[in-house]
Every structure is written in C-alpha cells, then in structure tokens.
Chain A
C-alpha cells in the first residue's frame, strides 16, 4: 500500500484533506467542549490525526523528513492558531451571552444585616459629655442612685421641712432613710467628699433621677446633667461664659441666651437660663408659651452653706467659702432631646416602643 511505503510525498499529499477536514470540523464547533474535542482529534497526544503523521516522519530519509516535517509544522501551527482564535471567539460570545442573561433586579432589597441604634437620650447625653470634656471637665457618673437625706437635701441647704423639698416629691425606700436621688446635685456633694485634688473641682455628673410625678411633661424617672466648678476666684461671669459656650456648642450660636435671677436652695445667687425658642425663633408659639424663650438650665454660685455642710462631714475646712467659690448648673437631658426632635411626651423615652426608638438613626 502506498501509505505503508514511507515517503514524504505520501505525507504531504494527505495534508490538504486534513486541512479540509479541520476547516469543516472547526466550522461546526459551537462551544468549548466541541473545540476541545477537535483539538484532541487533530493534536491529541496519542492518536491525533496530525500527531500520527508526525509519527510517520521517523521512517523517512533525512532530506524527505525535513521537507515533510516543515509542511507538517506549518499545518500544526496553523491548526493551533485557528483553534486559539476560535477559542477566543467562543469565549467572547459566551461573555456576551452571560451578560445578556446575568441581570439583577436592582430594586429588590439588599442584604443589610440588622440595624441597631443607641437611645436618643444616650446620644444627647454623650454629646453633652463631649462638649464638657472639651472644656476640661471630668465626667463623674459613678455615684449612687439610691442615696440618703444628707447627700440629697441636707448638704444642699435643704434642712428637714424645707419648703423647697415640695418641689421635688421624693421616692423613699421601705424601712430606712434611703431615697431615690431627686437630682444629680448629689454628685456635687459626693465628689467634694471624695475629691482626689481638693479643693479644685471641675466635673459634670450625668445620671438618672427620680421624682413622684407622671404626666406628659414629667416622668418618674428622668436624666440630668449636673455641673460643678470650684476654685479660688470663680465668678458669676465665669458661670455665664461657660453656659453660653456650652449652649452655643449644643444648639448653635444663632439662638439668643438670657440669664435671669431665680431660686435654688443650694446656689446664691441663683440663675435661670433661657434659650431663644428653637421652634418659633422667638416670635412666640405654643411650645414657648408665647414668650419666645425656653427655660433650659438652672444654675448659680455655690451656696456657702453647701461648702460648710461638706466641711462638717469631712471634719475639717477643705472648702473655705472665703477662699474658694464655685458655680453649679443642672439641666434635663430629656428637655434637650424633646426640643431637638420636637417630642411632646416625655414618657415616650421610657416606653421602649421600637416604633419610637427606630425613628432615630444614631
């Protein structure tokens, strides 16, 4: 048989047919698997049609082998190049196909994970803390909520039967003289009694307080921030400047602030601070009772009787009213949050109603 007789001519003669077959097969390839099949058919390592021809080169003489080998290599390179080209073509087609089908409905909800938030009163309280921290105040918050008559009233110049105690209807504990603190002013006394660097004080005392009152403007539990600064030479002007700086930081400098005389048993002089109504801008509305002002903060110069009570408790004169003076202030955290968010019922803060709490995004 002609094929059995090794000759370059025989091999070379088969090439056009091989090329024809390859062309026909390549035209029929539609996907990667078909392409792989085609590659195996022609270039497979054991029985690829081209591979078999290369195998037959061994039986040829040198010169013939060189000629036939060159022809074969040319064809092999051509086959490989065309296979590669087709592969790239198919892949591009595939991606286009994928892109045509791979669509997302961008309007379906994304996977968010659970969203939590801090309580609106926490947000306000920490904001107040941060403002005072920036002014060099220590945050003193570790004093007890269950306290006694001395720290809550007596040391604050409210002896037993003092009419001012009516302003703060007190919860008492059964069996004993303990009570729930009615104001964070207990923090003033507690701090001065355990002051690490007497007689200097520069603190704010945030915390929960309790009064027997329950309506839309009074909650039996609410939160206050008390402030106290004690040092030689502290003046009412210092109190004013501090409160102005604080209120400007909290609400912005666009609201006017006014100071007027008032009364608290533990300060003298006592001062009430009003902020220009942030609801109506000062023109008068229901929230500010047509006055244009919102009462925001009570304060005053520390009453010497407070220093004297602390000194008596300490058994020595640590806070000599002739040597040091101080100012104190206090405000309700709820009031700030209510003004800021336009909330008209204080009890919402403590109702744990998620429909309320989830309205706040921080």
Chain B
C-alpha cells in the first residue's frame, strides 16, 4: 500500500520525518516496506496485513497517524452542489439479491469528460493506478483515499435507466472492462440492466456501459457487497481486482453514501461536472453498529502491564470506537469500517498496538520443572549421530514424488489433488524409492562416484481408515567408503548396508537382530533390481536399507544393566565347516549353539572361503567359538568334550569339518 505523504497531510499533521513515521507505523502493525522520494514528495510503502482493510487507503492510515501522535484527524470534505432534475428521474435501482448486496447507493452525475488535472494524475500514479479519464480517475482516487470502491456507468448506455442487482443467470456472458468475455457460471453477482448484465458485482465493470469520450452523464454506484460472495466469484472467475480485494475482506457498509459524495465533491472541485439532486440508497436491512464489552483489567492481564484508563480511552476513541463506561467494564461500539474487530480480545490488541508491544516489559514464565527428550526422541537423535559417525551424510528429499517412480509391484500411493507438477503428484511410500535413488542419480551427474547418504522422514500410504504415515530411516551406499592410496578400492555391497543396520542395532542396544532372506520390495533383487538400475541410469551397484524408525527406537534399551566382569579367562577354538553353497551361517551357528552346551559364550564367523582347495559348489565357513565360565577356569577336557559334541552334530547334519 503506497501512501504519498502530501496526501496524508490533507487529513493529519504529523511531527515526524518520513522514515520516522514509517518506523512508528511499523510498530502499530503497518510495516514499512519501502520509502520512495524525499520530503514533501515522499511515498511510504506500507505492508498492510490482510485483516486491516480499513488501512488499505490514505484516510485509514491517517487515522492511525492521528492516534500515534495524538493529533486531530480532519474529516473528509463531502460537500458538493446539486444541479438539474432529481437523480431518481433518470435512474432506478432494484436489489433482487439482498444476500449478495445488502446496500446499493447511486448518484447521477453530469460530467464533462476529459483528462484529470495533473495533481490528480500524479497522485494516482504515485499509488500505482493508471490515469484514464477524469470520471474513472475520480472513482479510483476516492477508493485509494477512503477505501471504498465505486463504479461509473455511462447513463446513456444503461437501458431504460434501470440497474438490477441479482445473481447471474445460467449461460449469461459479459465482456468486462479488460476486454475479456466471461461466462458467468455459478454464484456470480451482477449489476444488470433490462437487457442483460452490465457489470460484475464488486469486481469489475462491463464494456457495454463503459465511460467514453461521448459520455455526458454517469450513474455512479457505490455498494456494499457480501464479502463471501465476492470472494467466491472472484476465485471462480480467476479475477482479482482492487475492488474485489477490499470487498472480500469486508468493506465499510456505511461508506457508500460518503464515497459517492466524495466523488461528487471532487468532480465539482476539478470543474468536471455536478451531481443531480438526491442519493439513491437501497439499504433494505440497515446493519446496527456492533458493540462489545471491554474490561480494563483484562487488557492489563493480557499485556502483562498496567494500562492507564485515559490512555486506553484515548486510543480507542481516536480509532473511531465509542466508549461508554459501565461498572467494571466498558461498552465499546465498533466503527463500521472495522470489520476485523468483534470481541474483547480484538480491543485488547487495539490498545496494545498503540501502547506499543515493544515498550511492554519482558518477563519469562516460570517453568514447572525440567523437561527432556522422550526416549523415542533421544533414540532418533542417536540414529542420526550413529549414521553421521559411520560416515553417512544426511539428506532431506521432498515428500512429493512422481507416481510413475513407484517401481515394480509397488502399492498405490496417496495422490495430491493439486500438485505443483506431475513429477510431484504423489506422496512417497518409501525413502529409498525414489528419494535416495534420485539423490544418487543427481550426484552421479555431478561426477560423484562414491556416496554414503541417509535420510530420516515420514512415508505415506492409504489404509482402510484413511491416509497413514510412519517414520523411516534409510541409507544408500555406493562405491568406496573411504578410498585411500594405500589400499585397493572396494565398492560397497550388501554387507556394507547390513553392517550399517547392525551398527544401528548396537548403538541403540536393541539386542540381536535377525535377518531373513526375501520379503524385500520389488525394486530390490537382491540389490537394486536391474530394471531399476536401467531406468535410473545407474552405472554401479548401490546397496540400500530402509527401516521403520519407530520400531527401531521403541526397541532401544536404556539404561544398560551392568554385568560383572568375568574373573576367569576365555578359551577360544576355531572350527572350519564345509558344506554346499546354500549353507547359511545362521543355520550352522544354530547347530553349534545347540550342541555346544552352556559353556559356549559366543560364536562368530571368522572367514568364508569358496575357492580351491575347496571344491566347486562347496563353501567353507570358519567359526570362532569362545568358551567361558564367569566363575572358574575351564579345563581342557570340558572344552574338548563340547567341541566333540559340536563336531559330531555338524557331521550328523552332513557337514565336513576341518581343523578339529
């Protein structure tokens, strides 16, 4: 909102320099966005919040200035001479849709069309309005000055001198002032004539009754439109104007007579015409002034500082509220232009604004006790720290994905009704697919070969109960972990990804993790499915993992229970087991544990070997067995007896033993 200071000075004298004025207005809620020009020609650019439609004009800002510096606000000059026959002889107005238009005012003006005087054109240009001709300019000038939009119809082009306010009829069309022919479907309000619509109610005039060089008389309309109706019509038509912007936010229902009077006053002032006697004012159900109570004690309690009664009264009355003092509470009548104010809290804000929030004291509310992260939250942080510590870099991808990237056999995703693009039309159901793959591809294009990344975030899916979401953690590894000149480059594979998962298990203390082959999503086979590798143009193998975060963090154990340190040494024995290639480490380990008895403390895989001298199709696994009794030293016989049982059990299972 541009405010030329010369214009502002017509209504209020202020003691501040332009920048100081801008800063003072900033504190009361009209933030200074920019300052153009200097001295008398300075123009403030104010950021007016969407609720303050009353300040989207010079006079509204002047009212704030008058309260700010406690200086008088001059009234608008609404006087004008009337000439000619009564207005209602030439113009008749009917409101057929009072839900659309509670009030419609009109005057008939005889005009001498021409360009506006320079001062008027300059002011319009200073506030960003293009001058057109004196009649249209005056309508715009008054809107920028006092906030109420009006519209001038060429009276000669209003058939039968009749204006009818109604809802548009099906299949009606109207060419608006911008030259666009519009289909008026739905609940669009119009000002019609006897031969069809002449203007879009509260949004824009029509071309057929546009003021032109031939115009000798105009019907000047200023109405009060139902905000919601204008908002919906404006949205439906995709047409947002200065007028609709004000009406949909709630203009002043008492302004229409004044707006037409101000146009008439200025018309006479610039010598461009005169008004015919009489105001046509259709206002079938006048709105009473609204009122609400205000307790000064409440103001102090909300602001946290005592507020002096005269100060509060001065602020409210200066803003146009009328204050009636009653026992314990004030009855405050709300001015018609403050559609944003309806209850006590709003009045507290009005007082607070002008007292200055910045000048209030600062206190910190006492805490009831200490707070800390919940176990799930601490565990989630531990996951991030563990992964970063393991050399993975955290990425955050958009939750939006293309529905086409779901991968083979993926379940349907939640789709957006109004996505920004087809590439962002659905919500991800996995972090890896396509998120981390996208990360991989994007970085490959930058020439990266080695990558270790992770992401924590939510994924989404449809359930019978509706949309559902869950937190996940996913990792992607490609290439070498930490290439070094001293060693051969080794690319990441399945066991690197599994290792990261095991690391998380250990860092969170979730106990033993069991890994079962199969059950992976369709894009894995067992690494990335070749179809995926091809579709995503990935050159190298990538290893990925994705876990339910809440399952992981819920299993986190804390605090750890201390176990006494063993007082006797452990005995270690190694065992090489040869079997067919299908043999899994887990099944051999299970047999070892079962046969070994309770002295066996730990089993680990030391080596896997599948080259000569091991015959083709066979594989050798070397296990390290650790025997220990916390209380005493084991005898060689005890250990050997256990090893013998293990060897016998493995042989019985058809496995070959080397070493023992």
Contacts and interface: CB of A to CB of B under 8 A. Distances in A.
B396 A114 contact: no
A220 B452 contact: no
A214 B387 CA distance: 31
B416 A352 contact: no
Closest 8 CB pairs of A and B: A114-B391, A235-B304, A237-B304, A136-B367, A261-B29, A263-B49, A269-B349, A241-B362
B482 A112 contact: yes
A325 B302 contact: yes
A287 to B, nearest CB: 15
Contacts of A137: 371
B248 A237 contact: no
Contact of B357 (A220, A231, A245, A269): A269
B466 A272 contact: no
A58 interface: no
Contact of A304 (B33, B343, B414): B343
Interface stretch (A42-50, A68-76, A354-362): A354-362
B463 to A, nearest CB: 11
Given A111-B484, A220-B420, A263-B52, A235 B27 contact: no
B267 interface: no
Interface string A326-362: 0000000000000000000000011111110110000
Interface stretch (A30-38, A139-147, A184-192): A139-147
A163 B248 contact: yes
Nearest to A293: B26
A352 B443 contact: yes
Contacts of B305: 235, 237
Interface in B470-508: 481-482, 484-486
Contact of A146 (B343, B393, B400, B414): B414
Given A126-B381, A139-B371, 6 more contacts: A139-B377, A173-B416, A174-B414, A180-B399, A208-B457, A237-B362
Contact of A114 (B364, B390, B469): B390
Contacts of A200: 368
Nearest to B388: A116
A271 B439 CA distance: 40
A258 B390 CA distance: 43
B251 to A, nearest CB: 13
Contact of B458 (A136, A145, A174, A245): A145
Nearest to A219: B398
Contacts of A214: 420
Nearest to B52: A263
A221 B416 contact: no
Interface string B148-189: 000000000000000000000000000000000000000000
Nearest to B300: A235
B348 A269 contact: yes
A272 B51 CA distance: 15
Interface in A205-251: 208, 210, 212, 214, 220-221, 229, 231, 233-238, 240-242, 244-245
Interface stretch (A1-9, A19-27, A164-172): A164-172
B28 interface: yes
A320 to B, nearest CB: 14
A3 B362 CA distance: 115
B598 interface: no
A61 interface: no
Interface of B: 26-29, 31-34, 49-52, 228, 231-232, 248-249, 301-305, 343, 345-346, 348-349, 352-353, 357-358, 360-365, 367-374, 376-377, 381, 384-385, 387-400, 414-420, 424, 427, 438-439, 442-443, 446, 448, 451-454, 457-458, 460, 466-467, 469, 481-482, 484-486
A245 B467 CA distance: 39
Interface string A100-144: 000000001101111111110110001001000101111101101
Nearest to A108: B485
A195 interface: no
Contacts of B482: 111-115
A313 interface: no
A303 B417 contact: no
Contact of B371 (A133, A231, A244): A133
Nearest to B229: A161
A182 to B, nearest CB: 13
B303 A145 contact: no
Contacts of B231: 161, 163
B358 A208 contact: no
A252 interface: no
B372 A117 contact: no
Given A236-B304, A269-B353, A355-B446, A117 B393 contact: yes
Nearest to A325: B302
A272 B348 contact: no
A354 B451 contact: yes
A176 interface: yes
Nearest to B376: A142
A109 B454 CA distance: 26
A117 B373 CA distance: 21
A262 B393 contact: no
A295 B659 CA distance: 73
Contact of A161 (B228, B358, B417, B467): B228
Nearest to A178: B467
A117 B364 CA distance: 35
A101 to B, nearest CB: 19
A17 interface: no
A210 B302 CA distance: 32
A270 B49 CA distance: 11
A113 B480 CA distance: 10
Contacts of B51: 164, 263, 265
A4 B275 CA distance: 162
Contacts of A221: 398-400
A139 B374 contact: yes
A172 B302 contact: no
A289 interface: yes
Nearest to A223: B396
A231 B301 CA distance: 13
B368 A136 contact: yes
A357 B395 contact: yes
Contacts of A244: 362
B368 A173 contact: no
A114 B452 contact: yes
Nearest to B460: A146
A183 interface: no
B54 to A, nearest CB: 13
A352 B442 contact: yes
B392 A116 contact: yes
Contacts of B303: 235-237, 269
Contacts of A303: 345
B584 to A, nearest CB: 29
Query: Which one of B32, B395, B451, B466 has the highest number of Cβ atoms from chain A below 10 Å of its Cβ?
Result: B395
Interface in A301-336: 301, 303-304, 325
A135 B394 contact: no
Contact of A261 (B357, B370, B394): B357
Given A122-B384, A138-B371, A220 B400 contact: yes
Contacts of B49: 262-263
Contacts of B50: 163-164, 166-167, 263
23 contacts: A113-B482, A114-B390, A114-B481, A116-B452, A137-B371, A139-B374, A146-B460, A146-B469, A163-B231, A164-B51, A171-B418, A172-B416, A180-B416, A234-B365, A235-B303, A235-B304, A237-B303, A240-B360, A242-B364, A269-B302, A289-B34, A349-B396, A352-B439
A200 B571 CA distance: 60
Contact of B365 (A144, A242, A269, A291): A242
A202 B399 contact: no
A354 B657 CA distance: 49
Contacts of A129: 373
Contacts of B29: 260-263
Contacts of B399: 145, 180, 208, 210, 221
A202 B352 contact: no
A237 B446 contact: no
